Amino acid sequence: MVLDKEKIRESLTENDIELILLDLGSDKPKHDSKGNLIFTTVCHGGYKHKLYYYNETKLFHCYTDCSESFDIYSLVMKAKKQQGKDLTFYQAIQYVANLTGKHYSADSTLQKAESNLINDWEWINRFKKKEKINPVLPKYDTKVMDIFIHKPHELWLDEGISYETMKKFNICYYQREERIVIPHYSIDGDLVGIRSRALRQEDIDAGKKYMPLYIENRLYNHPTIYNLYGLHKTKEAIKRLKKVAIFEAEKSVLKCEDYYGEDNFSVAVCSSNISNYHRDLLISLGVEEVFLCFDKEFENHESEEAYEYAKKIMKFAQKFAPYARVYILWDEWGLLELKDSPVDKGREVLETLMKRKYEVGTISEVAI
């Protein structure tokens, strides 16, 4: 029988987690102020209660020697290794299933249907495992770029983005609509969308500051959840340095290009969200360190507004935590203004925030 690792993991209660951790050698757990379980650090053979379990994400984080995050299976493998026993991933699943009595089969629903002689294939098919989504991005003809003026606009030059950088990323100007043109390319260099920045005040006031271009009855849009701006230019630095800085907007990538040149390891999500596809794409490049550099959305870092925003950023961080070290740039010192990106006040401020960054785990205790 093939065990369903996802269903087993998601079904684990806190009592199940306590049972497993006690079997791995932990002392009885303590609780933090939010009710999260805190175990002794079986991950590296330690004795302090510094291994936190977050039931919402089903993840552990060690706040001492490891400074790593684990799901239950990777924790079992690491703890068993400390005891001199090397388990495979599937053996770790079997260990959890045997200890908790949760032997969910990957094909149990279909087997049950067949055993009851149900012959409604339409009904059975509703329970089949969904195939992994392979998104298809649009692929636009690059000739459309010929209608734009291939010169930098003074607005972005004044903001410190150089002519060389705008040329490298093919930033143009659309005179008819009075917009700065921002072409988006896939990791392979295909033109997948064209966004623009409005210069007319009436467009800005109408909420059309950034939007896809509409040219000759065609909207040059694309699903941003399936692409990362700048990756076609920065992927070599990301692979070489094994790190990535994730910003919200395209301008941040352009400014990092001027700051760091060939060592620019930034990308932009072009929204206020990080998708699982974004994560998987970056992890596939061998990323070992992730820096979340989102815009500042609060004025007082001790406010309820900041607390809620921190929870949102932490959810993004947890997407990467099982695969890489994750850091959050969080301004407690008034270095940025409301809505600023960490790059907006210059290289020195960005690097100050980098030095004062929070590793995932600490922000939940310090910043919020």
The pLDDT value recorded for residue 1 is: 62
Torsional sign, CA 291, 294, 298, 303: negative
pTM above 0.85, yes or no: no
- Which residues partner with 359 through β-bridges? 327
The pLDDT value recorded for residue 115 is: 38
Give the mean pLDDT per block of 10 residues along the chain (368 residues).
83 94 94 88 89 86 75 92 89 93 65 39 44 73 95 90 96 94 96 94 85 87 92 97 96 97 96 91 95 94 89 92 93 95 96 93 42
Residue where the block lists tokens 């006690």? 22
User: For residues 154 and 18, what is the distance between their CA atoms, to the nearest angstrom?
Assistant: 61
Judge contact between 30 and 38, C-beta under 8 A: yes
DSSP code of residue 228:
-
State how far Cα 231 lies from the chain centre. Answer: 14
The pLDDT value recorded for residue 98 is: 92
